[in-house]
């Protein structure tokens, strides 16, 4: 529950309160109610239980993604960290068109 | 090329070795044995255990996991409230980790076996969806630290369906650091603060604590090198008798935190004293719904009778659980006679064996890693 998951914003709803986000190839919808600053398409955000909680500064994206890519690609299903990351991804609603 | 670069940065052996050597040097300069520091984050413990970091720490460095698992510190009567509601026929939605956490007599899983209706959700939004699909009353049993409470707050501010209410067991981390550092027997000389909770609160929230207790606090990320770098910064401060708040996780944390989220959090919740399982009464450690939100407060909507669950004494086994001492930093899972024997993830005796963020569960899963260090001693 402590581990947020980063994802890339693909589109933003017309009301501006939701965004479709790409989580390592999985498309999900997250809420933008509590993100710390305005976001736009192409930005990376850190997400927790279905809410974006921080826009990740451009310069920090590479280092931020590494841990997660390693977890998702290499770890087995029983790995606790991987399970937590997958849980976070499941916390976001299925994107309407994906 | 890209991938190679990623791996290099991620676990660059040369950098890890350099950090390890620096850690060795600084612990020697400090010269005490042991030097104990505490982190308060299940994800930190997962990374430490998963990557076998303890085996690389200097022998005199003792890195303890404190109360960093929100599931583990959810108090017994709080679980009882969920169980009582479920047994009274109310549908209870909650995070999956909560299912096996023991109450006085029953866990939510036991309540489900007895006919209670428990829905597992990954987020409060899914509880909202459940409520929209039915006329039945649903209670969302809301657990987690401030990071998770922000989501609960945002959803409440948006307006919940009429048949959904909230049983808040949310907890707030900064106050527990005060209590744990003051505990008799505590030798904690510094704290590694949880990266993602600090995304919300900002690093400044730790400044009064660091000044009052003269203890350094370093905010650190979750990768092996992040953790090593965080520990090194902490030890350098201990050596130099400093007690500053340092932020080594600027990609997720800044000084003032997420102000939008803080605003929503404190509009909906107020801090209140309450017990954290096995640890102590933590002043301001619980997040309770403000009076304005009484209409969505399950404690106000329902008469929750937990006393009837207390008629029998708790089972003998649970009394041997030392989760509280482990989270306070005065014991380790191997000190518990039930660890890996009577208490395993499939049939947990204590809450620390339930959650993926519990110390006992993590040590059980990645077993051998902590022992390696023992053998070196
Ligand atoms: S091994 Fe089980 S009983 Fe022992 S402290 Fe850990 S959770 Fe409690």
Domain ranges of chain B: 19-69+185-247, 76-172+258-310, 316-366
Q: pLDDT, tens digit, for every residue of B273-306?
A: 998 988 888 999 999 999 999 999 999 999 998 8
Distance (Å) from CA B73 to ligand 1 centroid = 13
Q: Count of CB atoms within 10 A of residue B269's CB?
A: 23
CB contact under 8 A, B150 and A69: no
As beta bridge partners, residue B36 has B62, B188
A36 with B258: Cβ contact below 8 A: yes
Q: What is the pLDDT of residue A96?
A: 63
Long-range CB contacts (< 8 A, 24+ apart) of A30-36?
A: A30/A92, A30/A93, A31/B125, A31/B154, A33/B154, A33/B157, A33/B158, A33/B260, A33/B264, A34/B150, A34/B151, A34/B154, A34/B258, A34/B260, A34/B261, A34/B264, A35/B258, A35/B260, A36/B258, A36/B259, A36/B260, A36/B261
B260 CB within 8 Å of a chain A CB: yes
In the numeric block, the tokens 């090329």 are attached to: B1
Q: Which of A66, A81, A90 sits opposite B6 (nearest CB)?
A: A66
Interval B247-260 mean pLDDT:
89
CATH class of B76-172+258-310: alpha beta
A34/B264 touch (CB, cutoff 8 Å), yes or no: yes
How far is residue B42's CA from residue B32's CA, in Å, rounded to a whole number?
Answer: 27
- Model pLDDT, residue B61: 94
Instruction: Quote the number of domains for chain A.
Output: 1
> pLDDT at position A83, please?
75
Closest CA to B123 of A8, A50, A80, A19: A50
Higher pLDDT, B154 or B97: B154
Residue in B104, B260, B154, B111 with CA at minimum distance from that of residue B94: B111
Residue A68 in this model has a pLDDT that exceeds 80: no
Least confident of B64-68, B124-128, B209-213: B64-68
Q: Please, which pLDDT band fits residue B373 given cuts at 50, 70 and 90?
A: very low
Beta strands B217-220 and B188-194: pairing type? Answer: parallel
Rounded to whole angstroms, the Cα distance separating A6 from A54 reads 9
Q: Give the Cα separation of B324 and B68 in Å (integer).
A: 12
- Could you tell me the CATH superfamily of domain B19-69+185-247? HypD, alpha/beta domain 1 (3.40.50.11750)
Asked if the domains at B19-69+185-247 and B76-172+258-310 fall in one CATH topology, the answer is yes
DSSP3 helix / strand / coil % (chain A, rounded to 5)? 30, 35, 40
Answer whether B206's CB lies under 8 Å from B256's CB.
no
Please tell me the distance from the alpha carbon of residue B77 to that of residue B30, in angstroms, as a whole number: 43
What is the per-residue pLDDT across B113-152, written as a single tens digit (0 to 9) for each? Answer: 999 999 999 899 999 999 999 999 999 999 999 999 999 9
Q: Which of B93, B98, B258 has the highest number of chain A CBs within 10 A, making it the mutation to test binding with A? A: B258
pLDDT at B374 over 60: no
How far are the Cα atoms of B23, B32, B50, B62, B218 from residue B58, in angstroms, in the given order?
A: 7, 12, 18, 9, 19
Beta strand pairing call for B35-39 and B188-194: parallel
A-chain CB neighbours of B147 within 8 Å are 1-2, 4, 48, 53
The residue behind tokens 């500053």 is B244
Residue B347 confidence (pLDDT) above 90: no
| A20: containing domain | 5-97
pLDDT band, residue A8 (cuts 50/70/90): very high
- B358-371 per-position pLDDT tens digit: 889 988 888 744 44
Measure the CA dihedral B250/B251/B257/B261, to 10°: -170
What residues flank ligand 1, with Cβ below 6 Å? B 321-323, 326, 333, 336, 338-339, 343, 349-350, 352-353, 360
CATH of the domain at A62: 2.30.30.140
**Is the ipTM, as predicted for this complex, more than 0.90?**
no
3-state secondary structure of B192: strand
Residues of chain B neighbouring A72 (CB-CB closer than 8 A): none
Tokens 């428990």 correspond to B118
CB proximity B255 to A under 8 Å: no
Which chain A residues are within 8 Å of B148, Cβ to Cβ? 1, 48-49
- Range in A45-59, B138-152, B204-218 with the lowest mean pLDDT: A45-59
| Residues B258-270 pLDDT 10s | 999 999 999 999 9
**Residue % of chain B over a pLDDT of 70:** 92
Q: Whose CA is nearest to atom 6 of ligand 1?
A: B360
pLDDT in the model for residue A98 = 39
Question: A26-31 and A18-23: which strand pairing?
Answer: antiparallel
Cα angle B350, B185, B41 (rounded to 5 degrees) comes to 50
B320 min Cα distance to partner chain A (Å): 26
CB pairs under 8 A between A and B: 139
When pLDDT is cut at 50, 70 and 90, the band that residue A1 belongs to is very low
Omega within 30 of 0 (cis) for the link into B34: yes
CB distance from B43 to chain A under 8 Å? yes
Nearest CA to B167 among B149, B194, B185? B149
Distance CA A34, CA B133 (A): 26
Tens digit of pLDDT for each residue in B298-309? Answer: 999 999 988 777
Q: What is the pLDDT of residue B6?
A: 40
């Amino acid at each position: 529950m402590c581990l947020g998951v980063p994802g890339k914003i693909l589109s933003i709803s017309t009301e501006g309160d939701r965004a479709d986000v790409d989580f390592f190839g999985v498309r999900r919808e997250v809420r933008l109610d509590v993100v710390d600053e305005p976001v736009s398409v192409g930005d990376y955000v850190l997400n927790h239980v279905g809410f974006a909680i921080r826009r990740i500064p451009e310069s920090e994206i590479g280092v931020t993604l590494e841990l997660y890519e390693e977890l998702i690609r290499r770890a087995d299903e029983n790995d606790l960290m991987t399970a937590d990351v997958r849980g976070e991804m499941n916390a976001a609603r299925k994107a309407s068109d994906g | 090329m890209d991938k190679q670069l990623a791996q290099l940065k991620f676990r660059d052996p040369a950098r890890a070795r350099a950090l390890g050597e620096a850690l060795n040097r600084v612990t020697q300069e400090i010269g005490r044995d042991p030097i104990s520091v505490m982190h308060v984050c299940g994800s930190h413990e997962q990374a430490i255990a998963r990557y076998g970091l303890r085996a690389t720490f200097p022998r005199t460095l003792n890195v303890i996991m404190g109360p960093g698992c929100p599931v583990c510190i959810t108090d017994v009567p709080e679980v009882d409230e969920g169980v009582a509601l479920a047994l009274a026929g109310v549908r209870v939605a909650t995070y999956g980790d909560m299912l096996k956490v023991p109450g006085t007599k029953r866990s939510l899983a036991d309540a489900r076996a007895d006919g209670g209706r428990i829905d597992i959700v990954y987020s409060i939004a899914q509880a909202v969806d459940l409520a929209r699909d039915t006329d039945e009353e649903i209670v969302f049993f809301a657990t987690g630290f401030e990071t998770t409470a922000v989501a609960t707050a945002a959803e409440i501010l948006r307006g919940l369906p009429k048949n959904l209410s909230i049983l808040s067991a949310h907890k707030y981390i900064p106050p527990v650091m005060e209590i744990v550092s003051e505990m008799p027997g505590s030798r904690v000389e510094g704290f590694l603060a949880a990266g993602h909770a600090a995304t919300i609160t900002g690093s400044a929230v730790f400044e009064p604590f660091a000044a009052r207790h003269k203890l350094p606090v370093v905010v650190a990320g979750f990768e092996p090198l992040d953790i090593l770098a965080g520990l090194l910064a902490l030890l350098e401060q201990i050596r130099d008798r400093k007690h500053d708040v340092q932020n080594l996780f600027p990609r997720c944390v800044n000084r003032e935190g997420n102000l939008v989220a803080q605003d929503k959090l404190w509009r909906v919740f107020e801090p209140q004293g309450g017990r954290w399982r096995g640890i102590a009464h933590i002043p301001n450690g619980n997040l309770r719904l403000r009076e304005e939100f009484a209409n969505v407060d399950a404690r106000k909507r329902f008469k929750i009778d937990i006393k009837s669950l207390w008629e029998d004494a708790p089972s003998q086994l649970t009394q041997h659980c030392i989760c509280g001492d482990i989270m306070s930093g005065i014991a380790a899972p191997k000190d518990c006679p039930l660890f890996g024997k009577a208490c395993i993830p499939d049939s947990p005796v204590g809450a620390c064996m339930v959650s993926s963020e519990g110390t006992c569960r993590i040590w059980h899963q990645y077993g051998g890693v902590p022992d390696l260090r023992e053998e070196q001693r």
